[in-house]
Structure 1
């Protein structure tokens, strides 16, 4: 696979991105579309297909050897299906089969991974998790996902959902989650949750922009309600990370995704709260890092999972 490239498709609740990625993790071409998450299954598929069609117009496309898909979860890698919590139209959707039928993709191997597994693959292969044998890599964005590296190997589980930290409960009597459980981490720490909590506590968005980005802008000016929303998210993340570290004895946690792009608005209170929740000595030694690949981690990770097809 000396001069071969990998195609990557990253499906999230807010955007669908596609890219061509080199074996060393460089993104050589990219495109993106908004995710029509409020529409039916075919409309969401059409957005993904449009992104791939645009990408296939690149002169580099003939060098593509495989396509990797990273998707918000849950996923089922054994069946090639996805059921993203934030894309109601996709429930048990056969994404591998449907993407493999795209005219530009026909004949290429297609692999599927949850977005958390994808970011774990990217950060362990190219980024902040490289020095560690055992790491939890998180995506904190429209939702919260995660992936585990244990003993230097991706730990996917049978269906590909191992490490899906966004749907562990951090509040056993907490608010209901669309997944059917209660108190899920995603309900407290996602960008959507940050914005919702800020609004519920009286924060007023500038220019009618009630997004997490707007909450972050207010927090940077010292707005106490915006700061409290980020602190609450960080506390929930600390509880989830500490529980995982206690269960499987992690060396590091790596935080990526759009909300992590706020930097110390999230990471500073997270470090503080980890000192409370990660109390046992083997958990307290956990190293916390911001993802090095930024918002490209999902794409690079999907490509990294596809690259594994060619490795001994």
Structure 2
């Protein structure tokens, strides 16, 4: 089938087998801060039943544990599939090294410079493609999710971290290094040399982790995003302020990006984007009210259509595009 997103630069293809047949199934890997997922996905974007597996990651894990979890999770998916795959598509928290096939996730510092492409070549004789996880999400949403029909759009995730991917002129934009869409590290506040962490970045202000930490510093006694959402629902003042602070920062960032790129639509997914039923409405309100130009006020913020399946579907699309 033909994917609606065109590729900038060289693009992957399908693996031709010796008998002339072409496989239309790919192993998809999604490497995140708390887990790694793998599944086999077909050319229609369907995750094949019984092939989806998850392994733990986390900042406390050793490098050996992280590598083992990635490889074992991939192996389980391939074994469950029981046949060859046309290639391997990898989406990872960033930054990544597109040129040398490495990943160095900020939230997995012990995995720095891990040669994931070289390690995962063992599972296929076809192409192995690596992109930022946000790029994979944008690709998946543009293919068959909430960004279908758009020419200029973004898919983003608001969770323990914040990341995204960019579609411009119906083209997926990975960037020279593969890190285009890393909006979590956009600076929204003036940097303070003695500040702890990164409180001036979008991720440092608005992610689920940062929002819970901010609420705790204001005297809130909960410890999780789920608890924060429950307290928001009952009108607890600190919880309400915390959630609105996060949504306002995301909206302001999207306004800036839209002013630069003239976006039509942004699809937002991730666990923390569901912290309250009106979170996306708050993001939309902030993005619209911050806009200085009429065209920027045309941006529409919508929920991701694929949500938890998006990273895997997008990763598979990296090698299933024809």
Using the size of structure 2 for normalisation, the TM-score is 0.87
Please name the residue that 1:165 is paired with: 183
Tell me how far apart the structure 2 counterparts of residues 106 and 20 of structure 1 sit (CA, whole Å): 12
Task: Report whether the alignment pairs 1:100 with 2:117.
Answer: no
Quote how far apart the aligned CAs of 1:57 are.
2.3
Please name the residue that 1:90 is paired with: 111
1:21-170 matches, within 5 Å, as: 21-28=41-48, 29-58=51-80, 60-101=81-122, 105-170=123-188
Please name the residue that 1:199 is paired with: 216
Q: Residue 111 of structure 2 aligns to a residue in which SS?
A: coil
* Cα deviation code 1:61-106 (max 9, x no counterpart): 41421111100011121111111110011222211112224xxx14
Tell me how far apart the structure 2 counterparts of residues 257 and 186 of structure 1 sit (CA, whole Å): 13
Instruction: Indicate if the aligned counterparts of 1:66 and 1:110 stay in contact, CA closer than 8 A.
Output: yes
Q: How many residues align?
A: 299
Instruction: Indicate if the aligned counterparts of 1:67 and 1:111 stay in contact, CA closer than 8 A.
Output: yes
Tell me how far apart the structure 1 counterparts of residues 224 and 117 of structure 2 sit (CA, whole Å): 32
Tell me how far apart the structure 2 counterparts of residues 177 and 285 of structure 1 sit (CA, whole Å): 37
Quote how far apart the aligned CAs of 1:186 are.
0.5
Tell me how far apart the structure 2 counterparts of residues 106 and 132 of structure 1 sit (CA, whole Å): 33
Quote how far apart the aligned CAs of 1:222 are.
2.3
Q: Which consecutive unaligned segments of at least 5 residues does structure 2 have? A: 1-13, 15-21
Deviating more after overlay: 123-132 vs 48-57: 48-57
Please name the residue that 2:7 is paired with: none
Please name the residue that 1:294 is paired with: 307
Pair 167,176 (structure 1): closer, same or farther in 2 beyond 3 Å = farther
Using the size of structure 1 for normalisation, the TM-score is 0.90
* Cα deviation code 1:162-211 (max 9, x no counterpart): 12111110112368575xx6611000111111211121111112xxxx12
Q: Which consecutive unaligned segments of at least 5 residues does structure 1 have? A: none
Deviating beyond 6 angstroms after TM superposition, the runs of 4 or more aligned structure 1 residues are: none
Tell me how far apart the structure 1 counterparts of residues 156 and 288 of structure 2 sit (CA, whole Å): 19
Q: Residue 186 of structure 1 aligns to a residue in which SS?
A: helix
Instruction: Indicate if the aligned counterparts of 1:177 and 1:183 stay in contact, CA closer than 8 A.
Output: no
Please name the residue that 2:272 is paired with: 259
Tell me how far apart the structure 2 counterparts of residues 176 and 74 of structure 1 sit (CA, whole Å): 22
Tell me how far apart the structure 1 counterparts of residues 256 and 308 of structure 2 sit (CA, whole Å): 26
Quote how far apart the aligned CAs of 1:213 are.
2.1
Tell me how far apart the structure 1 counterparts of residues 234 and 25 of structure 2 sit (CA, whole Å): 44
Instruction: Indicate if the aligned counterparts of 2:86 and 2:125 stay in contact, CA closer than 8 A.
Output: no
